[in-house]
Amino acid sequence: MYLAAALQMTSTVDRAHNHARAARLVAAAADAGAQLIGLPEMWPFMGPEAERLAHAETLEGPSLSLCRGLAEEHGVWILAGSIPEQSPDAAKVFNTSALVSPDGTLAGVYRKVHLFDVDIPDGARYRESAGVASGSETCVAATPLGKIGLSVCYDLRFPELYRALSAKGAELVTVPSAFTLYTGKDHWEVLLRARAIEDLCYVLAPAQFGRHSEKRVTYGHAMLVHPWGTVLACAADGEGMAIGPVDLGEVQRVRRELPALAHRRL
């Protein structure tokens, strides 16, 4: 058994500010005993989509370098939320999540597959595909903390991705997110609990919270969900964390008592 923490941030366009906040939150989670600590989607930069390209980094860039250093300093696993990663298309970035081990190496890298192209009834319009290239591969990292499957935000609405992760043995899936307030208030918890129940695994969901621009407001409620679908921890409004226990024995127990994964017929 170990503790996992889903961090909640209000990131801005100021990367230095975001890095400093992330470092403080990671330190607080490590001090609380967390061995797996997750940052939210696009934690180094939350601003106009048109400016995202200017903030693109490589996997050796400042944001993942910070996470490597923090992982080594605190002796923890860090889910580096997601960052705008440079892509082969000069006009687009990848929305990339990475899992960093305590020795600072990358244990897994995942590029967001499903892109958020939606007109929200509250007036906000999102065209993620205009500046983001879609990934094409799933990622499950084998770690001492269990097999960890990676995903990002809008992926949460596509259960077939999580079926693929569970088929690869995922015992915990991560969902770093920046869910809109409009959709999050009705769908966020329901979807997280559904993915846990369907795939009989833990779900660790770091989140962005609050107002990032005139029209962009995120829901927050970073969360840790048990394989039975119960919410083990949920962050309050503002920056902070949801921290709770992960017991891989619980994954095996639930899968043994309710062997739905073995009953699948395709």
Q: One of 41, 128, 239, 250 is an active-site residue; which one?
A: 41
Query: What count of Cα atoms within 13 Å lies in the side-chain half-sphere of residue 26?
Result: 30
User: Is 112 among the residues known to form the active site?
Assistant: yes
Token pair 């024995």 in the structure block, residue: 249
Query: How far apart are alpha carbons 35 and 262 in whole angstroms?
Result: 30
User: Which residues contact residue 218 at a Cβ distance below 8 angstroms, ignoring those fewer than 6 apart?
Assistant: 178, 179, 180, 181, 184, 207, 208, 209, 210, 212
Q: One of 67, 139, 153, 234 is an active-site residue; which one?
A: 153
For residue 141, count other CB atoms closer than 10 A to its CB: 22
For residue 231, count other CB atoms closer than 10 A to its CB: 17
User: Is 41 among the residues known to form the active site?
Assistant: yes
Q: One of 57, 67, 85, 112 is an active-site residue; which one?
A: 112
For residue 170, count other CB atoms closer than 10 A to its CB: 26
Query: How far apart are alpha carbons 79 and 62 in whole angstroms?
Result: 15
User: Is 215 among the residues known to form the active site?
Assistant: no
Active site (catalytic) residues: 41, 112, 153
